[in-house]
Amino acid sequence: MASKCRRLSGPIIRELLDSVESVLFDCDGVIWRGDEAVTGAADVINLLKKNGKRVFFLTNNSTKTRRMYVDKLRKLGFNASEEDVFGTAFCSAVYLKSEAKLNGKVYLIGSNAMKQELQNVGIPQVGVGPDPITGVQIDWANIPLDPEVKAVVVGFDEHFNYMKLNRALQYLSNPECLFVGTNTDTRLPLEGGKAVPGTGCLLKAVETAAQRQALVIGKPSKFMFDCVARQYGLDPAKTLMVGDRLDTDILLGSNCGLKTLLTLTGVSTAADAEAHRCSGCPLRLGMVPDYIVESIAELLPALQA
Ligand SMILES: [Mg+2]
């Protein structure tokens, strides 16, 4: 087995970049942190494109449409178009339309961005926005359901509450009703070491109530890569996945046979990677990256030469 966790430096960077046609970037913690670009990241991405590499952005965040991502990317200096962006709001809509061939409405625990992406593929939804509690338990169990709802989709929803949880349970009591989750990230890290609950918490609550497991769209699920690969004919062996999380980005890369690069500007540390490498546990070995950099800015010299 080739050595893992290699620190990238001069000649190895050139060798790695020469060996790939496409580069997939996670966003938060990789190319930006919150609303600020990682120093040098825009130059890296723009030069990769100039050097003929195909660049795509893969993010588990379900709160933005492709359009919204492109606006943010361009504002921060990245050369990008909507077709380059694969977020879980978009990929969930693609899944329901093209894979599940959904013929009906979605009960959506999610954001306006998810509603928009569903609309873009012609799928109607109900459920976005606040859903205040009324009545008593027997009313909740007999809450009127929309007979056209054929799927429950769970993404990030700042209005998540008991009533939504109950509605999802009632829809999912029908075994024919599809159950899709955007991602399982349990926490959203913020600057200064703070964090807020992520979609994974909401999804777990719905799974627990419904006593069913959701089909998950986001990384490390293979569907996210398939979504890009099918459309653009990517060769996994000639694709590099760059991410800041071992349990999503790097595991996706391993699951799909991609080369993997961990950048230390986000969630995971080199010590985390090393602990997985020494664990001897097959599942954890999938979370060991091929290469490690402090920041993707380390790719710059090789691209400028
Ligand atoms: Mg990230």
In-domain check, residue 277: no
For residues 160 and 258, membership in a common domain is answered with: no
In-domain check, residue 304: no
For residues 169 and 251, membership in a common domain is answered with: no
For residues 191 and 235, membership in a common domain is answered with: no
Quick one: tokens of 64? Answer: 């933005």
- Distance between CA atoms of 199 and 157, rounded to whole angstroms? 8
In-domain check, residue 273: no
Instruction: Please count the structural domains in the chain.
Output: 2
Residue 26 is among the residues annotated as catalytic for this protein? yes
How many whole angstroms from 132 Cα to the centroid of ligand 1?
Answer: 33
| CA trace torsion 264, 184, 94, 149 (10° rounding) | -160
Amino acid (1-letter code) at residue 87: G
DSSP 96-141: IIIIS---SEEEEES-HHHHHHHHHTT--EE--S-----S-HHHHH
- Look at the block and give the residue holding tokens 């060769």: 235
How many whole angstroms from 166 Cα to the centroid of ligand 1?
Answer: 31
- The answer to whether the CB of 244 falls within 8 A of the CB of 274 is no
In-domain check, residue 39: yes
**pLDDT score recorded for residue 1:** 46
- The answer to whether the CB of 143 falls within 8 A of the CB of 188 is no
User: 231: which residues sit within 8 A by CB, 6+ positions away?
Assistant: none
How many whole angstroms from 268 Cα to the centroid of ligand 1?
Answer: 9
CATH number at residue 192: 3.40.50.1000
**pLDDT score recorded for residue 199:** 97
For residues 47 and 26, membership in a common domain is answered with: yes
Residue 43 is among the residues annotated as catalytic for this protein? no
For residues 204 and 235, membership in a common domain is answered with: no
In-domain check, residue 125: yes
- Distance between CA atoms of 19 and 291, rounded to whole angstroms? 14
For residues 125 and 206, membership in a common domain is answered with: yes
For residues 231 and 188, membership in a common domain is answered with: no
In-domain check, residue 121: yes
Tell me the pTM.
0.94
How many whole angstroms from 263 Cα to the centroid of ligand 1?
Answer: 10
Amino acid (1-letter code) at residue 265: T
For residues 97 and 176, membership in a common domain is answered with: yes
- Distance between CA atoms of 240 and 260, rounded to whole angstroms? 6
How many whole angstroms from 151 Cα to the centroid of ligand 1?
Answer: 28
For residues 200 and 240, membership in a common domain is answered with: no
Domain that holds residue 261: 6-60+220-265+284-297
- Distance between CA atoms of 129 and 135, rounded to whole angstroms? 19
**pLDDT score recorded for residue 129:** 97
For residues 29 and 141, membership in a common domain is answered with: no
The active-site residue out of 18, 26, 71, 235 is: 26
For residues 182 and 95, membership in a common domain is answered with: yes
Q: Is 273 helix (H, G, I), strand (E, B) or coil?
A: helix
**pLDDT string in tens for the chain (305-residue length):** 458 999 988 889 999 999 999 999 999 999 999 899 999 999 999 999 999 999 999 999 999 999 999 999 999 999 999 999 999 999 999 999 999 999 999 999 999 999 999 999 999 999 999 999 999 999 999 999 999 999 999 999 999 999 999 999 999 999 999 999 999 999 988 888 899 999 999 999 999 999 999 999 999 999 999 999 999 999 999 999 999 999 999 999 999 999 999 999 999 999 999 999 999 899 999 999 999 999 999 999 999 97
In-domain check, residue 290: yes
**Looking at 216, 231, 246, which one is the last position of a domain?**
216
In-domain check, residue 184: yes
130 cis-preceded (ω within 30 degrees of 0): no
For residues 184 and 98, membership in a common domain is answered with: yes
Binding-site residues for Mg(2+): 26, 28, 244
- Distance between CA atoms of 281 and 287, rounded to whole angstroms? 10
Task: Extract long-range pairs of 298-302: CB within 8 Å, 24+ residues apart.
Answer: 298/8, 298/13, 299/8, 299/13, 299/17, 299/44, 299/48, 300/40, 300/43, 300/44, 300/47, 301/10, 301/13, 302/10, 302/13, 302/14, 302/17
**pLDDT score recorded for residue 121:** 97
